[in-house]
Structure 1
Amino acid sequence: MSNIQAAAAAAAAAVPEITATFKLLLIGDSNVGKSSILLRFTDDHFLPPEETSATIGVDFKVKYLEVDSQRYKLTIWDTAGQERFRTLTSSYYRGAQGVILVYDVSSRESFDNLDTWFEELKTYCSGEDVVKMVIGNKIDKESERQVSRKEGAEYARKHRTLFLECSAKTKIGVQQAMEELVNKIVETPGLWRKSSPSKGTVYVNDVPSGIAGGCAC
């Protein structure tokens, strides 16, 4: 075995085995920054609004995250916020372990519309124990803020969900939000733990075959 092959084998052995695959969903009105949050978390990149386009249907990205020395594969689905795509995206709620409801802190309308998204979540999501998080995005636009942090936190408390504010533009809060969501899922083993017939490793809700990945940011 060459030195390069040996190094590659050692590197592969050092990577922890995947404990489980979690399906996460981003929902909310169009233009609240769902695609930007996804791109910031997975690629640590931000595209200015003038360089982005609305998500058509559903896109997804994959990210690996370690929690307490365990490695989890995240398939993160970014759904279209436009009404005409609702029937297309409804099927993607099924099997989700975590759902992030996003609003824009500088848009009162996007915050008020969270009620509609919660109703849709209740209608289409198959798991009653799915972990939910409300995120107020675009806190970099503080001078244009229409929804206070206190109001967002109270809304999340009323719906018994996690809550954070973030800015996909400046990175503030994005990583923390995803880590808190995944930690909560890990703490709820009944939501995802299914033993394999041959091993104890868990693989749930992987990307459906035939679906191409990529985020239309």
Structure 2
Amino acid sequence: MILRRYRAVTSAYYRGALGAMLVYDTTKRQSFDHVAKWVDELRGHADNSIVIMLIANKDDLVDLRDVPTEDAVEFAENQGLFFFETSALNGDNVETAFFKLLEEIHNVVSRKVLDCSNGNENESNGGLLKGLKIDVKSSADFEVSEIKKLSTCSC
């Protein structure tokens, strides 16, 4: 009974997740060793198109490093993860990692939208992204009077 509740909570927790950052401490090998479990957890419960990024934190503590960069790069490549080394202390690469995650999520969502609009809806997106393609023009090209003409509002 407890296991069934755990699975339900876990599935609900990951449902709808578009991206994940798995962060480990470069000075603690044990934190890196747990990453594989978290990747399995994500792959088992999240959508198969979730973007997963591996983040090595505390890159500034070079003398205390316990996880070689090569180990993390090899793991990330084998698992198909994006990889960044960061330092939360001095902010190195933190913003870049977040922007890369957002960029990759945008790419995945854009592909799903295109697949849906081309009639190629499949089970991988679960039919969650349905709608019309919207062409957005710059405000210089589109005047308010044109917007009113297109509006279905009765106001």
Name the TM-score, length of structure 2 as normaliser: 0.65
| Separation (CA, whole Å) in 2 of partners of 1:110 and 1:88 | 26
Q: C-alpha displacement at 1:112, in angstroms?
A: 0.6
Partner residue, 1:22: none
Letter of the 1:111 partner, please give it.
F
RMSD: 2.4
Partner residue, 1:106: 27
1:89 and 1:104, CA in 2 relative to 1: closer, same or farther beyond 3 A? farther
Partner residue, 1:150: 70
Partner residue, 1:138: 58
Which structure carries more strand by proportion? 1
CA contact (8 A) 2:113 2:130 kept: no
Output one character per residue of 1:98-146: Cα deviation in whole Å (capped at 9) or x when no partner.
Answer: 1111111001001011111112112221x11111110001112211100
1:176 and 1:99, CA in 2 relative to 1: closer, same or farther beyond 3 A? same
What secondary structure is seen at the aligned counterpart in 1 of 2:36? helix
1:172 aligns with 2:89: no
What secondary structure is seen at the aligned counterpart in 2 of 1:136? strand
What secondary structure is seen at the aligned counterpart in 2 of 1:169? coil
1:113 and 1:167, CA in 2 relative to 1: closer, same or farther beyond 3 A? same
1:159 aligns with 2:79: yes
Q: Any stretches of 5+ residues in structure 1 without a counterpart?
A: 1-85, 202-217
What secondary structure is seen at the aligned counterpart in 2 of 1:110? helix
Output one character per residue of 1:163-207: Cα deviation in whole Å (capped at 9) or x when no partner.
Answer: 00101110001000011111112222235773557x849xxxxxx
CA contact (8 A) 1:185 1:191 kept: no
CA contact (8 A) 1:104 1:138 kept: yes
- Higher RCO structure (Cα 8 Å, ≥6 apart): 1
What secondary structure is seen at the aligned counterpart in 1 of 2:63? helix
| Separation (CA, whole Å) in 2 of partners of 1:114 and 1:191 | 28
Partner residue, 1:93: 14
1:89 and 1:147, CA in 2 relative to 1: closer, same or farther beyond 3 A? farther
Which of 1 and 2 has greater Rg? 2
Which structure carries more helix by proportion? 2
Partner residue, 2:44: 123
1:96 and 1:108, CA in 2 relative to 1: closer, same or farther beyond 3 A? same
Give % identity: 32
Q: C-alpha displacement at 1:88, in angstroms?
A: 9.3
